[in-house]
Structure 1
Amino acid sequence: MRSHRVPSRPSTLVLTVTAALTALLGTACSGGAVRDARAADAVTPPPARTGFDYQLGGPYTPADDVRVVVRDHTAKPAAGRYTICYVNAFQAQPDAEREWDPDLLLRDGDGHVVMDEEWGEAMLDIGTAAKRERIAAKVNGWIDDCAARGFDAVEPDNYDSYTRAPGGLLSAADAKAFLGLLAAHAHDEGLAIGQKNTAELAADREEVGLDFAVVEECGQYDECDAYTAAFGDEVLVIEYEERGLKRACEGWGGEISVVRRDLDVLPAGRPGYVRRTCDDL
């Protein structure tokens, strides 16, 4: 967390030539991060403009108005609700560096592991196609588990980690190529996949293969337009401040899903728990 599937059968020759051209084009475009339209069309994005809850701090019974819930991949889906499975895809969870091969951790020029200092998370090295494939294999295992347990979609976090990598160690192209691998796999498993934050890459959602957006504080920082321009009403917004909630609701409350949560996204009943919506203003 930053805070947190027949037309008439073609001939064998046509099939062979088509397969070869497809392979060539796939290699040439962002390391294979090209949208498979058939797979994407087979998945169902979240209901739009509806009650929403962000439950990364622990699962609890959603309020009656909630139709969409986000929970960590270690939790169970919310019964009767469209549930999105959160995975930390671009960084290691705090103190989980040992769960990754040492060469898959991003390192600076002195060989030190590059950390997201705000969250105490080691960054993953998605800088080469070979490493992206190895990292994706592990993350895709979590996505498989999300699908097996009945989740409807997946939210891979820290798409914007390349912006925190010093000295240009990672690029936007690296991030898009890696997320494209996850998107293709999620679609193969029948899951929709969301873009997390990263307004500067929202316009590339079709190239990468993304179905919706999960956005933190776009009201607070006046970024919601970047997401609605790319994703239309398929935008889920989490605000952490009352000012951000008011701005998101006043500007886009009738167009997208907006909720205010406490920064620690605590379960209901815990001291400090906050959940407010545009209807509460």
Structure 2
Amino acid sequence: MALAALLVAALSGCSGDGRTADPAPTARPRWQPGPGLAWQWQLDGKVDPSADVPVYDIDGFENSAADVARLHRDGRKVICYVNVGAWEDFRPDKDAFPRSVLGEPNGWAGERWLDIRRLSVLRPLMERRFDMCRDKGFDAVEPDLMEGYGNETGFPLTARDQLRYNRMIAGLAHERGLSVGLKNDLPQIPELVGDFDFAVNEECAQYDECDRLTPFVAAGKAVFHVEYTEPAGEFCPQSRRLRLSSMLKKPELGVWRRPC
């Protein structure tokens, strides 16, 4: 009889003394930003919370859990910027990358392309970076430099290599309850729009490519977009028509912004 009672209690969600058992913990739903959502993108130094927008995209290493919590208290969602396509000699985990995966300089000081074919090497390194984003309380990840296959990296990277790596990156974010954005990589949007929760784009208006981002908008997903040299009066009408989250920024990505 005692065994039967325990089985009944277990099946009914009750503890052995008649109290209702605590429900199993559930993962928080993943944030899904929609088209047209205003944002701030600041990668230069610690975040300045003065922009009155619902979304902030900030450097994951240079900002603390307290910085993220402060933005959350103000009702903002916060995106964690992390470089996944290049090694950076100024990051605290720089020595964890073996020299065999370091390629040519990518044009930014202290950065070299990564051999994204080496998934077994790069996966644990990126897992630790995404763990950092999760542990600091970020809502999402902006993984940068996701189109090495179209550049002179020092490695014979193919479009297939990039698809496989980018899908791995999306999976790492989702496993941690984080949303993830596809950074640039316009040619692969048709294959990747289902794997990513939003897009981040630089200068689609300058190169007359903004229409290529419409699959994200059609899927109800935000496209966070910046221009650096195009006048706002020239690209903003198209941005509004396409429902992009667009603004003019200076290339150093400091506090200054001019939204559409």
Aligned to 1:214: 200
**Identical aligned residues as a percent:** 31
What value does the CA root-mean-square deviation take over the aligned residues? Answer: 2.2
Q: Deviations over 1:100-137 (max 9, x none)?
A: 1112223xxxxxxx22134441111112xxx2132121
1:177-211 Cα shifts (integer Å, max 9, x gaps): 1121121121111111100011111111146x111
Q: Distance in 1 between matches of 2:217 and 2:191?
A: 10
Partners of 1:257 and 1:90 in 2: CA distance: 24
TM-score, reference length from structure 2: 0.77
- State which of 41, 45, 53 in structure 1 corresponds to 2:40: 53
CA distance in 1, matches of 2:179, 2:147: 20
Q: Aligned to 1:71, what secondary structure does the other structure show? A: strand
Structure 1 segments of 4+ aligned residues over 6 angstroms from their partners: none
Structure 2 unaligned blocks of 5 or more: 1-27
1:48 is displaced (CA, Å) by 3.0
Give the partner amino acid of 1:52: W
- Rounded Cα–Cα distance in structure 1 between residues aligned with 2:204 and 2:57: 18
Asked if the contact 1:69/1:83 (under 8 Å) is kept, the reply is yes
Conservation of the 8 A alpha-carbon contact between 2:173 and 2:179: yes
CA distance in 2 between counterparts of 1:118 and 1:250 reads 32
Partner of residue 276, structure 1:
258
Deviations 1:148-196 (A, max 9, x none): 1111110110011221136761111111111211211211111111000
Distance 1:139 1:49, change over 3 A: same
Stretches of structure 1 lacking an aligned partner (at least 5 in a row): 1-40, 107-113, 268-273
* Alignment coverage as a number of residue pairs: 219
Question: In structure 2, do the counterparts of structure 1 residues 117 and 50 end up closer, same or farther at CA, with 3 Å as the change threshold?
Answer: closer
1:43 matched residue in structure 2: 30
Which shows bigger deviation, 138-147 or 225-234? 225-234
Q: Structure 1-normalised TM-score?
A: 0.71
> Shift in Å at residue 227 of structure 1?
0.9
> What residue is the counterpart of 2:105 in the other structure?
115
Cα distance, 1:42 vs. partner? Answer: 4.6
- Report which of the two structures shows the higher radius of gyration computed on alpha carbons: 2
Given candidates 243, 254, 259, the residue that maps to 1:266 is: 254
Retained in 1: the 8 A contact 2:143–2:183?
A: yes
CA distance in 2 between partners of 1:118 and 1:56 (Å): 14
Give the match for residue 179 of structure 2.
192
Letter in 1 for 2:258: R
Q: Give matches, 1:69-218, under 5 Å.
A: 69-74=56-61, 75=63, 76-77=67-68, 78-79=71-72, 80-94=75-89, 98-106=95-103, 114-127=104-117, 131-165=118-152, 169-206=156-193, 209-218=195-204
- Compute the displacement of 1:242 (Å): 4.0
Q: Which residue of 1 aligns with 2:227?
A: 239
SS in 2 for 1:86: strand
Out of 81-90 and 234-243, give the one that drifted further. Answer: 234-243
Question: Aligned to 1:123, what secondary structure does the other structure show?
Answer: strand
Q: 1-side partners of 2:109 and 2:150: how far apart?
A: 15
Match in the other structure for 2:21: none
